[in-house]
Amino acid sequence: MAKNNRNKMPHPRRVPDSLHEPSGTPLAAVPQKDRRLIFGGGVALMLAFIWSYAPTLQGLFETWSSEADYSHGFFVIPLAVFFLWLRRDRMPFDHPMAPSYAAVGLLAFALLLRLTGVLLYIAPLDALTIPIWLAGSVWLLCGLRWMFWSLPAIAFLFFMAPLPYSIESQLSYPLQSVATSASAWMLQVVGQPAVTTGNIIVLGENVLNVEEACSGLRMFLGISALAAAYCVIMRRPWWEKGIVVLSVLPVAVLANSLRIAGTGLCYQYFGAESSRKLIHDMAGFFVIFVAAAMMGALVWYLKKIFVEVESADVSTMLHSSK
């Protein structure tokens, strides 16, 4: 009889996997009402963004096209989308999408910054509000956890905006002076009679004028974006990422100094007046790859000397050996 009773006992109910495992889509557990609100609000916010920021985006495109220091802006948006795809395994499926009206404060802050930029004639401030507006939109539609998940990609969009003129000039002048001294020293090391006068390098019969456009600001911004991309993509310790961030300035200065010194050497040995513009432009093109190679070499070296090892439970290993 006991055996028959055991057979008739009800089996324990199995908890659905959907309560513990991701369902494959963040909208699966969202009520139908909230789902319509998310889609409708998303369309409304997208149309509002296009209407409001269309002149700003047009100005950014013109800046990327006309100013070499900001030409990396063309790659910022595709990379930000790529970062979202890389972080797809970190989606907070345990927190279904849900509208959060607390984000209205962040959207209002973005609007306040835009008005401040208009009143104070700080044009770059308008473009800098785009990531803030996008973060507020994601928070409003999907919730705080989803905003934090997308935040690295959204924050990367700050690199597409030009710097305010005051900050740009404060960065350009010291970089210009350091690049002049470092490139002159490199030329002297290889036996060239390089003499500096202010931001001018006298190299035999040639005169290299290290203008503000050659200060290295382009390398500094581009390498900063590259370091930020490394911090988002690579899952390494925070202190290792900090080393990469701290290396941005020396890598940018070294790469730009190599560019100026290489240009001076080419002027010495291929000094025809007709070929100087070509030499200058080619040096500016290749130096970007040189700087990227330097950053890549640093990342490779850090991986080699700081090898991650898996931790193991010694007591479990001893127990299994018995």
**247 phi/psi in degrees, rounded to 5:** -85, -5
Side-chain half-sphere CA neighbours of 309 within 13 A = 4
Could you tell me where the beta strands, DSSP code E, fall in the chain? 194-197, 200-203, 206-209
208: helix, strand or coil:
strand
Residue 290 CB burial class (10 angstroms; 0-12, 13-18, ≥19): middle
Domain segments of the chain: what residues? Answer: 29-162, 166-304
How confident is residue 8, by pLDDT bands cut at 50, 70 and 90? very low
**187 phi/psi in degrees, rounded to 5:** -65, -40
DSSP string of 192-207, one letter each residue: --EEEETTEEEETTEE
Distances from the Cα of 34 to the Cα of 4, 139, 146, 266, 282, angstroms: 49, 14, 15, 65, 55
Q: What is the pLDDT of residue 24?
A: 44
How confident is residue 137, by pLDDT bands cut at 50, 70 and 90? very high
- Per the rule left: phi > 0, alpha: psi between -120 and 50, beta: everything else, 257 is alpha
Is residue 4 predicted with pLDDT exceeding 70?
no
How confident is residue 26, by pLDDT bands cut at 50, 70 and 90? low
Higher pLDDT, 89 or 32: 89
Interval 75-83 mean pLDDT: 90
Angle at 36 between CA 50 and CA 100, to 5 degrees: 75
User: Which amino acid is it at 187?
Assistant: L
> 41-71 as b/e, with b when 16 or more CB fall inside 10 Å?
beeebeeeeeeebeebeebbeebbeeeebbb
Distance between CA atoms of 208 and 274, rounded to whole angstroms? 16
What would the two tokens of residue 190 be? 């290889």
Is residue 38 predicted with pLDDT exceeding 50?
yes
Q: What is the pLDDT of residue 223?
A: 80
How confident is residue 14, by pLDDT bands cut at 50, 70 and 90? very low
How confident is residue 41, by pLDDT bands cut at 50, 70 and 90? confident
pLDDT digits (tens, 9 = 90+) for 187-206: 888 888 888 887 788 887 77
3-state helix, strand, coil in the chain (%, to 5): 75, 5, 20
What's the chain's average pLDDT? Answer: 78
For the entire predicted model, the pTM comes to 0.70
pLDDT digits (tens, 9 = 90+) for 200-257: 888 877 777 776 556 667 677 778 888 888 888 777 788 888 888 888 888 888 888 8
Distances from the Cα of 87 to the Cα of 73, 81, 233, 322, angstroms: 22, 10, 8, 41
Higher pLDDT, 16 or 229: 229
Is residue 96 predicted with pLDDT exceeding 60?
yes
Mention every residue, 6+ apart, whose C-beta is less than 8 A from residue 198.
Answer: 180
Mention every residue, 6+ apart, whose C-beta is less than 8 A from residue 42.
Answer: 141
> How many other C-beta atoms are found inside a 10 Å radius of the C-beta of residue 292?
16
Higher pLDDT, 15 or 290: 290
Mention every residue, 6+ apart, whose C-beta is less than 8 A from residue 49.
Answer: 133, 134, 137
What is the share, in percent, of the chain residues with pLDDT greater than 70? 77
User: Which amino acid is it at 198?
Assistant: G
How confident is residue 2, by pLDDT bands cut at 50, 70 and 90? very low
Which value, to the nearest 10 degrees, does the dihedral of the CA atoms of residues 311, 316, 318, 322 take?
Answer: -150
